[in-house]
Amino acid sequence: MGWVSPTGHAGTAPAWAAPQQAYDENEATAASWGWGTPACNYSGPIVLTHDALQCTKIRFLANPAQSDTVKVELYYDGAWHEIYSGGITGAWQEVEFSEVTTSQMRFTFHVINVFAGSSMPSLYEVDFWEVPPPVVRRVLMDGLVVVAT
């Protein structure tokens, strides 16, 4: 297994331009938050999706020029869970957590830079770290089935 890109987006705020560019395997393109958000406010969320997978970390590449912090959440067990809230370096950043089954990640950016009345936090790429599902072995002992993981 290893790094796996999202395969879609859902429920993404309409001000996100080209959300598919956050998972197009091209670090030169980006999903960008639209125009008009005043400085010191938050972007709407961008939600990136994949079929359910076992995951122990995510990574992202974002532009720190327009945003100083980002909140990253994963959807599992029927709810959103914050896994990271902190700075943006401009380099790949990894966030590790206990193994979960997830199908969505969500990013919200704090806007700090406004140019000509516009702001454009940019998310270049994101990936899930997929781990293999647990191996289930069945052993027949004296007519009983014993399941070991």
How is the chain split into domains, by residue range?
2-148
Amino acid at 129: W
Fold adopted by 2-148: Jelly Rolls (2.60.120)
pLDDT at 149: 54
pLDDT at 65: 83
Hey, is 19 helix, strand or coil? helix
Amino acid at 136: V
CB 27 within 8 Å of CB 53: no
Q: Give the residue among 46, 49, 48, 56 at the shortest CA–CA distance from 3.
A: 56
Report the C-alpha gap between 103 and 121 in whole angstroms: 23
pLDDT at 74: 98
Q: What's the token pair of residue 69? A: 């912090």
**pLDDT beneath 70, residues of the chain:** 13, 35-40, 113-119, 136-149
